[in-house]
Chain A
């Protein structure tokens, strides 16, 4: 999951970046509105966290701009203003949720997970696909009621598939959404991890929840191909 964090206060930006990375997100952290608007419209994002008071271009303008560019990923607004007039203005200009400063980092992380989940079309954080159960909040995965032990990257990959069910995802797309910029897009690390994930999800080889479409990418179809 790739997140744009648009916050001009350096300490807060760095702390949040660390926390979000620790949660397994890919984070692009930006401190001013103009660069932020570029990231928001040009990068393959899954969510943006936008502070309203930014140098260069206000957060509201960035949100309006990215919505005009038909970006549909969820946007979470951060601001010190907590009057409904301000909230309504932010939500009406295209944001999806609103968090008032000062806030607890846990609250922010919870909102981010909820927004990502809602964007994937799931009302609850506990999901079930055949024998596979995933709790997006606690990040616990079980297979046929047995806890399944996944590495952080395996989980991230699975989560991305689960939130985009029945969609063909190219290797490039997976790379962009799951890796930081400096990762080598030509590496075959995705294939390697995908192979491990497939073996863990389908040790007997008769479920095949993740299919390969030659030349196009991969598809998570838990009901089978």
Chain B
């Protein structure tokens, strides 16, 4: 046996897709929260730098010569604490002041004169390692002059980076936990419907093992088409098996009588006459035939496929031409004719009708096939076979249809084909009719209705 790779289980597929969905969602949530947090941190930093600038301005003295002095109380102790990470400075045209926190640090902030009334916030980049906020203003000295000043405050990125790092750590930890919880919940949710499927499978296994007759559990609405169809299939199957048993039994019993006759003659020491032997054999043959026919007839005709009729009818006609080379066979059918009929049944009907016509006809047999338009969406079939033989009256035709049904008759030759056709047609709830043919002989018309 070939061993194709098993398709992955439902649980695996669903878990995999749930995992991917959760990971994607968590990543999106994480990124957007991270962005929002970074923006908030920058706003807070800018506000801190702004208040540092105003703290510097609050303690600033400028003499009329433009010299700078700072003697205010430190509003922010970080401005006085060396290398605290927060730095500030003031530049005038001819002087500069730096906060005590910047002692021992090379000030990377460019000495740039800011126009009066302007402000700027800069984030670190290639040539600026700090966050910087600066403003330009005009300062009125005690002498009444206006001096242009640039005031700035700056913070090294270490603090904000640290805060961001600790926030991120927390964020991803919580998101990870949430993902795990979601996945576990998903699995638990999946488990239940899968458990139901396992229960169905278990019931089917029990049926196979003979422990139960049909699927009896109550299942959610989505599964009832499956369970109901399975039950219907099981019922048909059981009915068929019973029928086979009965048919086999009938056959065996019907053979016993002729065998008993033979046996008794053997035991009696009489010589078995050829005629007796022949009669017993003929009886057995007839029984076998009628049981086979009955078995074929009793099969249920449900769920028939839609077949293309032409490719089945043509080889039958070809075969008949071979068997009856002196008879002219004509086949008329629509090229794309289709019908809901079993392949075996259709060939059996066509073969028997044509052979019958060929046996009785003189030289010509004509068959036409058409769809039975009366039968709605599923397609029935109308079969008409004409011959140029002597024809039959209705009474004789009725007799022909019954031939071979009686088991005591040697059912070889004449008319047997028609009785076979009759039985197949019955199983399709169809009809078979005889009338006079335009060719001068018999016309047999068969209508099959799809079930």
Q: Taking beta carbons and an 8 Å cutoff, which residues of A are in contact with B?
A: 83-85, 87-88, 91-92, 96-98, 102, 118, 123
Q: How far is the CB of B367 from chain A (nearest CB, A)?
A: 14
Q: How far is the CB of B280 from chain A (nearest CB, A)?
A: 13
Is B347 in contact with A98, judged by CB distance below 8 angstroms?
no
Q: How far is the CB of A58 from chain B (nearest CB, A)?
A: 19
**Other-chain residue from B319, B325, B351, B352 in contact with A118 (beta carbon distance below 8 A):** B325
Is A83 in contact with B315, judged by CB distance below 8 angstroms?
no
> Whose C-beta in chain A lies nearest to the C-beta of B316?
A88
Is A84 in contact with B352, judged by CB distance below 8 angstroms?
yes
Residues in B with CB closer than 8 Å to A102 are: 281, 285
> Whose C-beta in chain B lies nearest to the C-beta of A123?
B326
**Other-chain residue from B322, B325, B350 in contact with A84 (beta carbon distance below 8 A):** B350
Bound CA span A88–B316, Å: 6
Bound CA span A87–B325, Å: 16
Bound CA span A123–B347, Å: 28
Interface of B is mostly: helix
Residues in A with CB closer than 8 Å to B439 are: none
Bound CA span A28–B350, Å: 36
Residues in A with CB closer than 8 Å to B281 are: 102
Is A84 in contact with B285, judged by CB distance below 8 angstroms?
no
Q: Kindly list 17 other residue pairs between chains A and B, CB separation below 8 angstroms, not including A87-B351, A91-B323, A97-B323.
A: A83-B348, A84-B316, A84-B348, A84-B351, A88-B316, A88-B347, A88-B351, A91-B318, A91-B319, A91-B322, A92-B315, A92-B318, A92-B319, A96-B322, A102-B281, A102-B285, A118-B325
Bound CA span A85–B347, Å: 6
Is B318 in contact with A85, judged by CB distance below 8 angstroms?
no
Bound CA span A178–B103, Å: 132
Query: What is the 8 Å Cβ interface bit string for chain B, positions 335-347, against chain A (1 contact, 0 not)?
Result: 0000000011001
Residues in A with CB closer than 8 Å to B352 are: 84
Assuming the contacts A91-B322, A91-B323, A102-B285, asked whether A85 and B343 have C-beta atoms less than 8 A apart, the reply is yes
Residues in A with CB closer than 8 Å to B351 are: 84, 87-88
4 interchain residue pairs of minimum CB distance: A84-B351, A91-B319, A84-B347, A85-B347
Residues in B with CB closer than 8 Å to A98 are: 323
Residues in B with CB closer than 8 Å to A96 are: 322
Within 8 A of A (CB), among B267-326: 281, 285, 315-316, 318-319, 322-323, 325-326
Residues in A with CB closer than 8 Å to B326 are: 123
Bound CA span A43–B315, Å: 30
Is A87 in contact with B319, judged by CB distance below 8 angstroms?
yes
> Whose C-beta in chain B lies nearest to the C-beta of A92?
B315
Residues in A with CB closer than 8 Å to B322 are: 91, 96-97
> Whose C-beta in chain B lies nearest to the C-beta of A103?
B412
17 A-B contacts (beta carbon < 8 Å): A83-B344, A83-B347, A84-B347, A84-B348, A84-B350, A84-B351, A84-B352, A88-B316, A88-B318, A88-B347, A91-B318, A91-B319, A92-B315, A92-B319, A96-B322, A97-B323, A102-B285
Bound CA span A32–B446, Å: 43
**Other-chain residue from A88, A97, A118 in contact with B315 (beta carbon distance below 8 A):** A88
Residues in B with CB closer than 8 Å to A88 are: 315-316, 318-319, 347, 351
Is B348 in contact with A85, judged by CB distance below 8 angstroms?
yes
Q: How far is the CB of A158 from chain B (nearest CB, A)?
A: 25
Q: How far is the CB of B345 from chain A (nearest CB, A)?
A: 9
Bound CA span A84–B347, Å: 6
Q: How far is the CB of B156 from chain A (nearest CB, A)?
A: 93
Q: How far is the CB of A218 from chain B (nearest CB, A)?
A: 29
Residues in A with CB closer than 8 Å to B343 are: 85
Bound CA span A147–B281, Å: 39
Q: How far is the CB of B330 from chain A (nearest CB, A)?
A: 18
Residues in A with CB closer than 8 Å to B285 are: 102
Residues in B with CB closer than 8 Å to A87 are: 319, 351
Bound CA span A96–B319, Å: 8
Bound CA span A172–B359, Å: 41
Residues in B with CB closer than 8 Å to A123 are: 325-326
Bound CA span A83–B350, Å: 11
**Other-chain residue from A85, A91, A92, A118 in contact with B344 (beta carbon distance below 8 A):** A85
Bound CA span A12–B283, Å: 20
Which one of B318, B344, B347 has the greatest number of beta carbons of chain A within 10 Å? B347
Residues in A with CB closer than 8 Å to B325 are: 118, 123
Q: How far is the CB of B432 from chain A (nearest CB, A)?
A: 17
Q: How far is the CB of B405 from chain A (nearest CB, A)?
A: 17
Q: How far is the CB of A216 from chain B (nearest CB, A)?
A: 32
Bound CA span A98–B351, Å: 13
Residues in A with CB closer than 8 Å to B319 are: 87-88, 91-92
> Whose C-beta in chain B lies nearest to the C-beta of A89?
B315
Bound CA span A213–B225, Å: 83
Q: How far is the CB of A99 from chain B (nearest CB, A)?
A: 11
> Whose C-beta in chain A lies nearest to the C-beta of B278?
A104
Q: How far is the CB of B240 from chain A (nearest CB, A)?
A: 19
Bound CA span A123–B281, Å: 34
